[in-house]
Chain A
């Protein structure tokens, strides 16, 4: 291991202990609602921000399995699909229902949260079912099994009437908002951070470094791997459910192998095992195609035809990026370090340099 993992829970002086756990949430919520209010007139910015949030949730949750535990799952889009479809069907069924005595907006949001949780739990159950047999085996089998699982999900969706077959689901209530996506981003980052610092997380790191040694030390490797997998697929399901509630239509093509690879690239680029790396890479890789598209369009006439090809060029570039990364910097940009560990030290060094 290149550098030790030291995660200390944030200490904020002057706050009573019971409030300390709630403190990040108390900061996050007003910011999120402010953001939503500020963006209420900008539908594209809202959409882009939501996509970014969903990608961050996916990348951070995949990092729990691929980064911290050192297993290699390449079927994350499959779990996302489970969450999206299950929650989508539920929301469609409950579309005309409202809880009496509550304002419509509130009851809609309650149903939305219920749909999110159902989608997440359904994905977690799938994660358990897939993980249990394959996590007993060596890592590379897991890669194939998760990939196969993604394909199976796609085929199942294409053959099921309820899920709209190849046409997909349309007309899901558009109840998602920047605040809701942001809240789940917050939750997944918090959970991921807490896992990394807990004894549970130390077992995961141990499995990542040396599975045989971890087992010899009494770590129940299969159990920990399956649990990490279940947590990760739960959040993938939630991300899918969020996605299903701000895009007008979901179809099997939204959740192919390409989507899984995109998430894998985010995690690998950010650094296997770094939550903040996954966040930054997800933000970067969501903005990059958009930026390239508008840059090409602005450039010239022929640029606009290039702009249409951005989505196609993206894929081989991801492939080459993975190879180059593995050859030159296999630990990714951040390695296992976190921004919130590195930044204060770096700031202190700068301040010392100035004085």
Chain B
């Protein structure tokens, strides 16, 4: 029983991080109908920015509340900027071209970032994973069983990542459905040409959406690095792909769907690893994806819209 509870806790903690990254995929897909392949790698860059900031702050400052906030702020702002640059120079020129060109570009950016960061030239960090500093001192908030070797442990960062994720999702839901900007986003998502005719600055809406999604990714990436206590150039690819799977499971383009998909994927993965075989972790997500696509191609909350000509 206690084992089950522990797996539930771990699964939800991982799932919230997937969900946060998935939100970025879903937002960008919502306005552009483009799978932003580079999303996970933008996240990775954000984590490295946080890592550099943590080291610049030094051992004392980085574990204070302001230090942690500063690390998150730098990473999120840096990623927003990176997202803006990518959108402006890589995606915007291709917006009226066939979808395949944009997809290939996205894959190219993803590849350039994840392998570019593995080089050992200049400021680039090299391929080896590095230990991420413990900016949040791990505290056991809740334990069950023997106090020395507890059966169930709930860490403070697990609660934190859940709170951050729920908070961000709530904020996003509010932004999309309750603000002027959100209305503009939904209009662009519906039909960006008509939206432009109605006086909506589509370019700006899309750019801001990209920045928001990238900032969310940076936040999620830092939470992941705190959980994993490591950072490596390849983390973006794997986490990004899993988050994408989460977004598809929930129904891509759907904000609560991304959340549910992320949690579901986190739990499924955790249970398979816990009860079946740990070496199969990476295969679980894709197996799950194929099954979902077979049974419900639109995802759990998505609708399959007929393609209009």
Minimal beta-carbon separation of B136 from chain A (angstroms): 31
Contact indicator per residue, chain B 255-299, by CB within 8 Å of chain A (1) or not (0): 000000000000000000000010110110111011001100100
Most buried by B among A74, A141, A144, A154: A144
A152, B293: Cβ atoms under 8 Å? no
Once the chains bind, are A212 and B307 in contact (CB under 8 Å)? yes
Judged by a CB distance under 8 angstroms, whether A175 is at the interface is no
Contact partner of A140 (CB less than 8 A), chosen from B90, B99, B285, is B99
Instruction: Give the residues from 208 to 244 in chain B that come closer than 8 angstroms, CB to CB, to chain A.
Output: 237, 241, 244
Task: Assess whether A145 is interfacial by the CB under 8 Å rule.
Answer: yes
Given known contacts A312-B118, A316-B119, A318-B111, A144 and B99 CB-to-CB distance under 8 angstroms: no
Interface segment, one of B51-59, B101-109, B163-171, B190-198: B101-109
A141 contact from B93, B94, B108, B248, Cβ within 8 A: B248
The answer on a CB contact under 8 Å between B35 and A326 is no
> Does residue A143 face the partner (Cβ distance < 8 Å to B)?
yes
Q: What total of chain A residues lie within 8 Å of the partner, measured CB to CB?
A: 47
Given A145-B290, A147-B241: A327 touches B279 (CB 8 Å cut-off): no
Partner of B108, one of A139, A272, A309, A323: A323
B residues less than 8 Å from A272 (CB atoms): 100
CA of A272 to CA of B287 in the docked complex: distance in angstroms? 29
Give Cα distance in the complex from A166 to B54, angstroms. Answer: 36
Interface set, chain B 32-74, CB cutoff 8 A to A: 35
Residue A174 lies at the interface, judged by CB distance under 8 Å to chain B: no
Q: Could you say which of A130-138, A224-232, A239-247, A287-295 contacts chain B?
A: A130-138
A148 touches B107 (CB 8 A): no
Output the nearest chain A residue to B281 by Cβ-Cβ distance.
A155
The reply to whether B99 and A315 form a contact with Cβ atoms under 8 Å apart is no
Q: Is the CB of A326 within 8 A of B108?
A: yes
Given contact pairs A140-B103, A144-B248, A323-B109, A134 touches B93 in the complex (Cβ within 8 A): no
Contact of B241 among A134, A138, A144, A326 (CB under 8 A): A144
The answer to whether A148 and B241 have CB atoms under 8 Å apart is yes
Q: Are A145 and B118 in contact (CB under 8 A)?
A: no
B112 within 8 A of A: yes
Interface status of B97 (Cβ within 8 A of chain A): yes
Q: Tell which of A137, A143, A159 touches B280, judged by Cβ atoms closer than 8 Å.
A: A159
A330 at the interface (CB under 8 A from B): yes
Distance of A323 Cα from B109 Cα, bound (Å): 7
Give chain A nearest CB distance to B142 CB in angstroms. 34
The one of A139, A155, A318 in contact with B100, judged by C-beta atoms closer than 8 angstroms, is A139
User: A320 at interface (Cβ–Cβ under 8 A)?
Assistant: yes
Q: Which residues of A contact B110 (CB under 8 A)?
A: 319
Is B125 an interface position by the 8 A CB rule? Answer: no
Q: Give Cα A148–Cα B307 distance, bound, in whole angstroms.
A: 25
Contact status B103-A323, CB under 8 Å: no
A151 touches B282 (CB 8 A): yes
B113: which A residues are within 8 A, CB to CB? 319
The verdict on A322 contacting chain B, using a C-beta distance below 8 Å, is: yes
CB-based nearest B residue for A141: B293
B309 interface residue (CB < 8 Å to A):
yes
The answer to whether B133 has its CB under 8 Å from any CB of chain A is no
A248 and B90 alpha carbons, distance in the complex (Å)? 42
- B283:A151 contact, CB within 8 angstroms: yes
**Residues B287 and A152 in contact, CB atoms below 8 Å apart:** yes
Contact in complex: B97, A133 (CB < 8 Å): no
A128 sits at the interface (CB 8 A): no
Q: Is A88 an interface residue (CB 8 A)?
A: no
Within 8 A of B (CB), among A20-67: none
Contacts of B290 in A (CB 8 A): 130, 133-134, 145, 148-149
- The answer, yes or no, to whether B115 is at the interface (CB within 8 Å) is yes
B112 touches A323 (CB 8 A): yes
CA distance A316 to B117 in the complex (A): 9
Shortest Cβ distance from residue A22 to the other chain B in the assembled complex, whole angstroms: 38
- Assuming the contacts A151-B286, A152-B287, asked whether A133 and B293 have C-beta atoms less than 8 A apart, the reply is yes
B104 touches A257 (CB 8 A): no
Chain A 141-189 residues near chain B, CB threshold 8 A: 141, 143-145, 147-149, 151-152, 154-156, 158-159
Q: Report A305-331 CB contacts with B as 1/0, cut-off 8 Å.
A: 000010011011011111101110010
- A326 and B94 contacting across the interface, CB-CB below 8 Å: yes
User: How far apart are the CA atoms of A203 and B39 in the complex, in Å?
Assistant: 35
B100 touches A319 (CB 8 A): no
Tell me whether B182 is interfacial, beta carbon within 8 Å: no
A residues less than 8 Å from B111 (CB atoms): 261, 315-316, 318-319, 322
Q: Is the CB–CB distance between B104 and A148 below 8 Å?
A: no
Whether B293 pairs with A74 at a CB distance below 8 angstroms is no
New contact pairs (8) apart from A151-B283, A319-B108, A320-B112, CB-CB < 8 Å: A143-B103, A145-B293, A268-B104, A309-B120, A316-B119, A319-B112, A320-B108, A327-B105
B: residues with CB less than 8 A from A are 35, 90, 93-94, 97-105, 107-113, 115-116, 118-120, 127, 237, 241, 244-245, 248, 277, 279-280, 282-283, 285-287, 289-290, 293-294, 297, 307, 309
